[in-house]
Amino acid sequence: MKIYTLLFFILSVASSCTKVAPPKPVGPIPSDRHLAWHDVEYYAFVHFNMNTFTDMEWGTGGEKPSQFNPSALDTKQWAKVAKEAGMKGIIITAKHHDGFCLWPSKTTEHTVKNSPWKGGKGDLIKDLSQACKAYDLKLGVYLSPWDRNAANYGSPEYVADFHEQLRELLTNYGPIFEVWFDGANGGSGYYGGTNEIRKIDNKTYYEWDKTTEIVRELQPNAVIFSDGGPDIRWVGNEDGWANETNWSIMRRDEIYPGWPRYVELRSGHEDGTHWLPAEVNTSIRPGWYYHAREDHQVKSVPRLVKTYYESIGRNGSFLLNLPVDTRGLVHERDVAALKAFKSHIDADFKTELAGGKQIVASDTRGGDKMYSANKVIDGDPATYWATNDNVTKASLTISFKRPTEVNRLLLQEYIPLGQRVKRFSLEANVDDKWVVIDTQTTIGYKRILKFETLSATQIRIKFLDSKGPLAISNVELYRAPNFLVEPKVSRNKDGFVTLTVPNNDVEIYYTLDGSEPTSASTKYEQAFLIEHPVVLKTISYDSKLKKSTAVSSTPIDVSKKNWKVSQVSSGKLAEAVLAIDEDPQTFWASEKDITDPQAITIDLGESLNLVGFTYWPIQERYPFGIITNYEFLVSSDGKNWTQASKGEFSNIVNSRLEQRINFKKTKARFIKLKAVRVSGDTMQASFGEIGVISSK
Ligand code: FUL
């Protein structure tokens, strides 16, 4: 008995001696709801609503509830797919800009209750909340403030309805983890049949303070998303990436929905006043909504993996959109892509290599075990290594018993005390020499670095600059398998196609007759000519492992060898070739301060049967002149023109992908793309790449 008492005494003296205060928080810190949200990391967006049935990205609001008619809607399938993909939640478009409500809201007749689905007795939000519960997933709701259907949109009565809709969603469906407010406010709409343009002031109209209060009152644990929070922020693009430098803090009071300086959302503000971490939202397909024509454009595994490393790997969360189809199911192709993506990520992070290794810090807070280096490899996110108050530069060195191959580093700061690290480098001891692998800036909740595989005896992380003493909760090391990537297809103006893969050991096989390529198909050796429309199918093949990638298909049309730009409405004709050079990364633009609609005329060099055209918007970092409304004309002589198609490239500004527009078969030698409306203040139009869809 005595010995235990003595032991207890010694232990308590020891622990009272080593009680060193934790570092003081630095800058704004996350709330509990933030911390819970950071842990969610990877979750699904589901765009499923009226647009699914009208094949639109933005409905006008003039649609009829009778058009909402899924044939086999099964929210359990969505939940199963999300769960098996490793996602932890689903955010559903309860109401998109067209105003149609997926639940029987009392505020409007424009809801599922007037649709044929379940004889008007359905409530999709209820179904989904039950499905999420069954699969242990969190539920979030997207509620568009802009409502192109509501007759009272623009008046205070609409705002009252909007708030009531929010109340309904946050009261009747159990816990909600995220409320998503879209910043888009386009102006024109159906608005009860008036079909007019209604402008509101984004900053004041929706009474954001009151909106936030409603969420806090009904769902205190939910985070609120918008361009600028108040809790979490848009990342400033819909392509799926955050900047390498990514602060979870921002000068929030400067931001409002539709903020023109949105590029700053990509990296946050180092001197931020509020915790406002970035959510990276992107779709698994070109569109947010399902379009059968995009069935072949489901993002490839390499593309999804890239997005993973550029979102979660850069201190963001990853909200991946699944456009549920007209049946009401996640399409088979999307399911296959999600599965393949998950197994890739699982393989990358299969075996952690730092755990249990010797780890030494250059400084330890108060010399206290509580803050010692091994806290970063104990697998416990609640413990962390910390340095003394005056130490903002320090290092951690991990030693292996024998040379060990590594190519991934995962770091996490102890964010309950704020985001601190401003600059760090990664070094490796290879053959008794220290080499610098990478120097980077921020870490935050999570940062992952990818680097060439090297065989090291030691790994050192040097923290070079920090806002205060260091507080690092986690360090992980991995050796991810070699990446077998689908070949990248590029083509030049003469029609020659080049296929490339990053790894020279990987072989490429292809077909041009529609059949599935195998390692017995034509082996790619050098660039080859394609002159007429075909679907090019390719695989990459690792002959050592006898493993191949999934088949990727690329529609290729006539070669542009004899194409000439014959006329431009302004600007330099000679430079306009950049719009038909087969490279969407280059562009041609009309003159700047122009007030008339701009057009480009192309001579195809021969008469072709056309069934459509393609338009790549400009791919510049800071784009301008994107055509949002177009007219496409055809002619056999370049003088007499007929309109082949006219319409809107919906959401093209946020999602700058190739637009493929089909029309009735027509013979033509000349084509003209006219920019009826563009993004920007003038009529300046830009053209990344123009192509045709032709048939025999
Ligand atoms: C955008 C919307 O306009 C798109 O339609 C989509 O919902 C996307 C997630 O946000 O701002």
* Mean pLDDT of all residues in 659-688: 96
- pTM score: 0.79
Distance 436 CA to ligand 1 centre (A): 41
pLDDT-derived band at 504 (thresholds 50, 70, 90) equals low
d(CA 72, CA 50): 15
Nearest-CA neighbor of 498 among 397, 558, 582, 573? Answer: 582
pLDDT of residue 449: 98
The angle formed by the CA atoms of residues 77, 81 and 87, to the nearest 5 degrees, is 135
d(CA 302, CA 46): 22
Whether the predicted pLDDT of 10 surpasses 50: no
Neighbouring residues of 691: CB distance < 8 A, sequence distance ≥ 6: 557, 560, 580, 613, 614, 615
- 3 in helix, strand or coil? helix
Distance 691 CA to ligand 1 centre (A): 26
Ligand 1 contact via 289 beta carbon (within 6 Å): no
CB–CB of 363/371 below 8 Å? no
pLDDT of residue 659: 95
**Residue 269: both structure tokens together:** 């503000």
Cis-peptide into 230, omega within 30 deg:
yes
Strands 89-95 and 138-143: parallel
The angle formed by the CA atoms of residues 495, 497 and 499, to the nearest 5 degrees, is 170
Which residues are 450's β-sheet partners? Answer: 408
Distance 197 CA to ligand 1 centre (A): 19
Neighbouring residues of 155: CB distance < 8 A, sequence distance ≥ 6: none
Q: Which of 54, 282, 288, 322 for a ligand 1 pocket mutation test, highest count of atoms within 8 Å of Cβ?
A: 288
pLDDT-derived band at 483 (thresholds 50, 70, 90) equals confident
d(CA 651, CA 547): 38
pLDDT of residue 9: 45
Which residues are 454's β-sheet partners? Answer: 406
Ligand 1 contact via 281 beta carbon (within 6 Å): yes
The angle formed by the CA atoms of residues 475, 415 and 21, to the nearest 5 degrees, is 95
pLDDT-derived band at 622 (thresholds 50, 70, 90) equals low
d(CA 294, CA 660): 10
Print burial letters for 551-584: b (CB count within 10 Å at least 16), e (below 16): bbbbebbbbbeebebbebbbbeeeebebbbbbbb
Kindly give the number of the ligand 1 atom that is closest to the alpha carbon of 144.
7
* Mean pLDDT of all residues in 668-678: 98
Kindly give the number of the ligand 1 atom that is closest to the alpha carbon of 182.
11
Write the single-letter amino acid at 60: T
Kindly give the number of the ligand 1 atom that is closest to the alpha carbon of 288.
6
Distance 96 CA to ligand 1 centre (A): 8
Give how far Cα 578 sits from Cα of 265, 301, 587, 668, 683, Å.
Answer: 31, 30, 5, 22, 19
d(CA 194, CA 191): 6
Strands 598-616 and 689-695: antiparallel
Nearest-CA neighbor of 162 among 215, 206, 202? Answer: 206
Element housing 334 (H / E): helix 332-348
d(CA 493, CA 561): 5
Ligand 1 contact via 654 beta carbon (within 6 Å): yes
Handedness of CA 82, 87, 89, 95 (dihedral sign): negative
Maximum separation of any 2 CA atoms in the chain, in Å: 107
* Mean pLDDT of all residues in 132-157: 98
DSSP 8-state class, residue 51? H
* Mean pLDDT of all residues in 193-201: 95
HSE on the CB side for 85, CA within 13 Å? 32
pLDDT-derived band at 656 (thresholds 50, 70, 90) equals confident
The residue count of the chain comes to: 696
The angle formed by the CA atoms of residues 358, 449 and 363, to the nearest 5 degrees, is 40
Q: In this predicted model, what pLDDT tens digit does every residue of 261-290 receive, in sequence order?
A: 999 999 999 999 999 999 999 999 989 999
> What does the mean pLDDT of the chain come to?
94
pLDDT of residue 185: 83
d(CA 689, CA 677): 18
Helices marked H in 219-331? 301-311
Ligand 1 contact via 184 beta carbon (within 6 Å): yes
Ligand 1 contact via 258 beta carbon (within 6 Å): no
Segment among 71-75, 256-260, 645-649 with least mean pLDDT? 256-260
Which residues are 556's β-sheet partners? Answer: 534
Distance 435 CA to ligand 1 centre (A): 44
Ligand 1 contact via 651 beta carbon (within 6 Å): yes
d(CA 413, CA 249): 14
Write the single-letter amino acid at 509: Y
Q: In this predicted model, what pLDDT tens digit does every residue of 528-565 receive, in sequence order?
A: 999 999 999 999 998 877 999 999 999 999 999 999 99
- Residue 503: phi and psi, rounded to 5, are -105, 120
- Top pLDDT among 524 and 300 is at 524
The residue with tokens 């359905």 is 122
pLDDT of residue 16: 46
- Residue 302: phi and psi, rounded to 5, are -55, -40
pLDDT of residue 4: 47
d(CA 88, CA 329): 19
CB–CB of 608/692 below 8 Å? yes
Give how far Cα 231 sits from Cα of 228, 368, 477, Å.
Answer: 8, 35, 31
User: Which residue's CA is the closest to the ligand 1 atom numbered 10?
Assistant: 182
Whether the predicted pLDDT of 418 surpasses 60: yes
pLDDT of residue 14: 47
* Mean pLDDT of all residues in 655-673: 95
- 616 in helix, strand or coil? strand
Handedness of CA 201, 206, 209, 215 (dihedral sign): negative
d(CA 236, CA 267): 9
* Mean pLDDT of all residues in 318-333: 98
* Mean pLDDT of all residues in 26-46: 98
* Mean pLDDT of all residues in 290-319: 92
CB–CB of 693/557 below 8 Å? yes
pLDDT of residue 18: 52
d(CA 203, CA 173): 29
Q: In this predicted model, what pLDDT tens digit does every residue of 95-131 receive, in sequence order?
A: 999 999 999 999 999 999 999 999 999 999 999 999 9
HEC readout, 630-679: EEEEEECCCCCCEEEEEEECCCCCCCCCCEEEEEEEEEEEEEEEEEEEEC
d(CA 146, CA 186): 8
Strands 659-678 and 358-361: unpaired
Which residues are 482's β-sheet partners? Answer: none
Ligand 1 contact via 147 beta carbon (within 6 Å): no
**Residue 246: both structure tokens together:** 């990514």
Distance 324 CA to ligand 1 centre (A): 15
Segment among 176-185, 348-357, 392-401, 605-614 with least mean pLDDT? 176-185
Q: Which of 60, 146, 182 for a ligand 1 pocket mutation test, highest count of atoms within 8 Å of Cβ?
A: 182
End-to-end CA distance of the chain: 96
pLDDT of residue 621: 52
